[in-house]
Chain A
Amino acid sequence: MALPEEDVHMIIKQVLDEVVGANSVYTHKDSVQWNQKAVEQITKKLVAAGKPYKYVVTSSFLQISSGSGLNVSTISYWNKVTDSSYMYRWEAKTMLAIVYVFAIAI
């Protein structure tokens, strides 16, 4: 069985709180580093759960300043019984992170 949704959300939240922190201010240079670090640690924790899955983790950081619109959608072509996707939205004062995790059964 794939990881339960709450567990994955918890992993993502923990990592983002730790790597970025709710009070950090968005700068482009930092955000690239945070982003890389965040996906790295999320994948590490997912793998540490020891499930036989391939994982794809994507994370987008966006600066929130003037209320610009954003839309993210995903569509997959796979076995919906065994494969699953998770989405988590994390917000801080000046930024928004949208993290997707896809788990594909081997």
Chain B
Amino acid sequence: MDDANDRNFVLRPTPGQKFRPKTVSAMIHEVLGEKLSALTTYNVDEADQASKDISKAIRERLKNLQLPRYKYIVQTMLAEQTGNGATTAVQCIWDEDCDGFISQRYVNGPVWCEVLVFAIFHY
């Protein structure tokens, strides 16, 4: 009974099927580098498209992790680097044991980007 797929009602992911924030951090960074390294100026339409592309790409990669019963939320913030102040705060009410969160920031000359990923286990 290792596979959560075979069970109808699961309270905990098996150790191998648990979402581990640290393991996806490199993946997120890779996606951001791929999508943003070519961006030289901040352009409204481009940014709109780019942030959607990033979210989608990360979601696909998360799905490819093949962790059963996990739901994902990906939030991408893409902004122009002009020295404006910005802060982000997050609070979650969830099961600390199996749900996970990671934030990753990427700065590239004219733009900065912050990605928040949440993984929520569905019982």
Contact = CB atoms under 8 A, between A and B. Distances in A.
A68 B73 contact: no
A77 to B, nearest CB: 4
Contact of B86 (A27, A54, A62): A62
B91 A79 contact: no
- What class of interface size applies to chain B in its complex with A? 35 or more
B20 interface: no
Contacts of B101: 56
Interface string A22-64: 0000111001100110111011001100000011111111111
Contacts of B75: 58, 72-74, 100
Contacts, number: 148
Given A57-B91, A106-B123, A72 B76 contact: yes
Contacts of A64: 84
A67 to B, nearest CB: 9
- Central interface residue in B52, B80, B91, by most chain A CB within 10 Å: B91
B42 interface: yes
A102 interface: yes
Which one of B56, B62, B93 has the greatest number of beta carbons of chain A within 10 Å? B93
B1 interface: no
A39 to B, nearest CB: 4
A35 B87 contact: yes
